[in-house]
């Protein structure tokens, strides 16, 4: 065994080793699943360990939270039963009469939930155009706006928002900036280091990476009354992650760097191949120089541009859906961030109120041989 240096290992090493875990009693190198829902007390009724009851926190979940907190360079991390569990708990911390600013184009589930809060308990929602910084500035109402929520790159057009500029605008108005960084996992982008107050991920996606766990995560840059309120909301809503899911998430996290880097390489190669394809009206990918916010993407996405891209087919809705129907290597399915490539006609999934163009197909690029992915899309487009 080689001598370990005294300096702190890089995050790549820490994550590959799940925190250099060695079980003190057994020597096991993999953290065990601790399924207990309750934790014993001593004779004087003080706790044996750090835990009381699993809805408030438990060892396997805490292990995963510790790894995620290091990845984000944050102050504290909480895992939730899903991304929506995390987002709804955060929205719960906004008082009636206060407001949220959020982009018009964003993950539709979060936007629907915010609209429902507006209708049911007067938490105002001010929408802005993610591609236009002036629009973001107009959406902020000083003294009223509590949270500015951004998603970058944003589903499913992959608009990129300048995180540092958004953080400055939020702080100038006494608001906090929350970044949905699901499509730019910490291998690529660390919003807290750019001034964001809280970073959100659907851990169902890249963080777990194998399409077999539903989980959400929030990490705070520093302690705050809102963060304390958020933790109370989580326990009250019961939006806690289970130990088995936490164990799978730890296993998935160990290969995060390899998976995200390979997916990014594949996506860039595919985007470049199809950028000027005669059957396409466009390829939307932040890594392309033709992307409207490529400069910002280059500045804040330092480990690649991610695995998410969309194509615009020269054709109508029916022709576009036929392309997804002809794919053989890609699986037509929703979700993203797994090792396998998926294709989705996004408008069909979001329903009649969707503002997504009818000719848009969203791809989650996996870690397969990119030549197979390119050939598959070529054959599917041949008959448009
Ligand atoms: C999937 C997703 C969510 C919601 O997360 P769930 O784990 O499905 O609840 C939120 N934001 C983005 C960008 C997503 O892709």
198 domain residue, yes or no: yes
Measured from the CA of 154, which atom of ligand 1 is nearest?
13
Specify the residue with its C-alpha closest to ligand 1, atom 2: 202
Task: Give the pLDDT confidence of 117-156 residue by residue, as tens digits.
Answer: 999 999 999 999 988 989 999 999 999 999 999 999 998 9
42 has catalytic annotation? no
Is the residue at 122 inside a domain? Answer: yes
Q: Please give the pLDDT value at position 6.
A: 67
The pLDDT of residue 1 is 35
Ligand 1, atom 5: closest residue by C-alpha: 83
- Write the pLDDT tens digit of every residue in 229-285: 999 999 999 999 999 999 999 999 999 999 999 999 999 999 999 999 999 999 999
Tell whether ligand 1 has an atom less than 6 A from the beta carbon of residue 83. Answer: yes
Q: Separation of 202 CA from ligand 1 center, angstroms?
A: 5
Residues near 59 by Cβ (< 8 Å), separated by ≥ 6?
34, 49, 50, 51, 243
Q: How far is the CA of 107 from the centre of ligand 1 (A)?
A: 7
Residues 198 and 169 in one domain: yes
Domain match, 159 and 25 both: yes
Q: Do 158 and 263 fall within a single domain?
A: no
CA of 204, closest atom in ligand 1: 7
Q: How far apart are CA 357 and CA 204, in angstroms?
A: 25
Q: Is this prediction's pTM over 0.75? A: yes
State the distance from the centre of ligand 1 to the C-alpha of 346, rounded, in angstroms: 14
Centre of ligand 1 from the C-alpha of residue 131, in Å? 21
Mean pLDDT confidence for 95-117: 95
The predicted pLDDT at position 2 comes to 41
Q: What is the mean pLDDT of residues 84-99?
A: 97
Q: How many Å apart are CA 190 and CA 200, to the nearest integer? A: 11
- Tell me: do 207 and 286 sit in the same domain: no
User: 207 and 196, same structural domain?
Assistant: yes
Q: What is the mean pLDDT of residues 75-93?
A: 98
Closest ligand 1 atom to residue 86 Cα is: 9
The DSSP code for 191 is: G
User: Which structural domain, as residue segments, surrounds residue 370?
Assistant: 256-381
**Which residue, by CA, sits nearest to atom 11 of ligand 1?**
107
Residues 157 and 284 occupy one common structural domain: no
| Residue 5 binned pLDDT confidence (cut-offs 50, 70, 90) | low
Q: Are residues 193 and 341 in the same domain?
A: no
- pLDDT the model gives residue 3: 47
| pLDDT tens-digit map of 46-79 | 999 999 999 999 999 999 999 999 999 999 999 9
CATH number for the domain spanning 186: value is 3.40.640.10
Residue 353 reports pLDDT greater than 90: no
Residue where the block lists tokens 């601790």:
34
Residues 245 and 271 in one domain: no
Is 50 inside any structural domain?
Answer: yes
pLDDT bracket for residue 354 (50, 70, 90): confident
Number of separate domains in the chain: 2
Asked, for residue 365, whether it belongs to a domain, the answer is yes
Among 227, 253, 279, where does a domain finish? 253
pLDDT at 178 over 60: yes
- Give me the chain's average pLDDT, please: 96
Of 229, 253, 277, which residue is a domain's last? Answer: 253
Are 106 and 206 contained in the same domain? yes
| Same domain, yes or no: 226 and 182 | yes
Whether residue 94 is found in the same domain as residue 174 = yes
CA 381 to chain centre: 30
Q: How confident is the model at residue 372 (pLDDT cuts 50, 70, 90)?
A: very high
Residue 352: CATH number of its domain = 3.90.1150.10
Residue 4 lies inside a defined structural domain of this protein: no
Cis peptide bond prior to 75, omega within 30° of 0: no
Q: Does residue 109 line the site of ligand 1, with CB under 6 A?
A: yes
Looking at the structure, do residues 191 and 336 belong to the same domain, yes or no?
A: no
Q: How many helices (H) and strands (E) does the chain have?
A: 13, 12
∠ CA(338), CA(350), CA(317), 5° rounding? 100
pLDDT at 40: 97
Over the stretch 285-313, which tens digit does the pLDDT of each residue have?
Answer: 999 999 999 999 999 999 999 999 999 99
> Is residue 1, in this structure, part of any structural domain at all?
no
* Token output for 382: 């041949």
- Whether 272 is catalytic is no
The predicted-structure confidence for 179-232, as pLDDT tens digits, reads as follows 999 999 999 999 999 999 999 999 999 999 999 999 999 999 999 999 999 999
| Residue 3 is assigned to a structural domain of this protein | no
- Ligand 1 atom closest to 216 (CA): 7
In the residue annotation, 226 being an active-site residue is answered as: no
In a domain, 6, yes or no: no
Q: Where does the chain have alpha helices with state H?
A: 11-16, 59-72, 83-92, 108-121, 133-139, 163-172, 225-237, 243-253, 256-274, 294-300, 317-326, 346-350, 370-381
Residue where a domain stops, chosen among 219, 253, 287: 253
Taking CA atoms only, the protein residue closest to ligand 1 atom 7 is: 83
Does 107 participate in catalysis according to the annotation?
A: yes
With the most atoms of ligand 1 within 8 angstroms of its CB, the residue from 200, 204, 310 to mutate is 204
């Amino acid at each position: 065994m080689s001598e370990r240096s005294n300096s702190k290992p890089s995050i790549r090493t820490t994550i590959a080793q799940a925190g250099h875990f060695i079980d003190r009693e057994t020597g096991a190198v993999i953290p065990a699943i601790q399924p207990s829902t309750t934790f014993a007390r001593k004779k004087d009724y003080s706790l044996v360990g750090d835990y009381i009851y699993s809805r408030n926190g438990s060892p396997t979940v805490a292990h995963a939270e510790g790894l995620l907190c290091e990845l984000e360079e944050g102050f504290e991390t909480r895992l939730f039963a899903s991304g929506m569990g995390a987002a709804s708990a955060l929205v719960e911390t906004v008082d009636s009469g206060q407001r949220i600013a959020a982009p018009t184009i964003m993950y539709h589930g979060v936007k629907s939930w915010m609209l429902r809060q507006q209708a049911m308990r007067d938490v105002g929602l001010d929408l802005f155009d993610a591609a236009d910084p002036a629009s973001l500035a107009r959406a902020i109402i000083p003294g009223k706006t509590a949270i500015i929520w951004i998603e970058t790159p944003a589903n499913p057009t992959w608009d990129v928002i300048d995180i540092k500029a958004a953080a400055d605008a939020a702080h100038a108005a006494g608001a906090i900036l929350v970044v949905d960084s699901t499509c730019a996992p910490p291998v690529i982008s660390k919003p807290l280091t750019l001034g964001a107050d809280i970073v959100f991920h659907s851990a169902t996606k890249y963080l777990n990476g194998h399409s077999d766990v539903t989980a959400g995560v929030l990490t705070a840059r520093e302690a705050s009354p809102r963060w304390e309120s958020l933790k109370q909301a989580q326990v009250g809503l019961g939006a806690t992650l289970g130990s088995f899911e936490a164990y799978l998430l730890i296993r998935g996290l160990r290969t995060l760097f390899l998976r995200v880097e390979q997916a990014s390489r594949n996506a860039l190669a595919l985007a470049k191949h199809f950028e000027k394809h005669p059957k396409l009206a466009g390829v939307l990918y932040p890594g392309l120089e033709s992307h409207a916010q490529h400069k910002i993407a280059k500045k804040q996405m330092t480990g690649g541009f991610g695995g998410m891209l969309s194509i615009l087919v020269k054709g109508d809705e029916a022709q576009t859906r036929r392309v997804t129907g002809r794919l053989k290597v890609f699986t037509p399915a929703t979700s993203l961030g797994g090792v396998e490539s998926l294709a989705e006609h996004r408008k069909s999934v979001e329903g009649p109120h969707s503002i997504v163009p009818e000719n848009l197909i969203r791809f989650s690029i996996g870690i397969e041989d990119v030549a197979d992915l390119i050939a598959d899309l070529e054959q599917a487009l041949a008959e448009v």
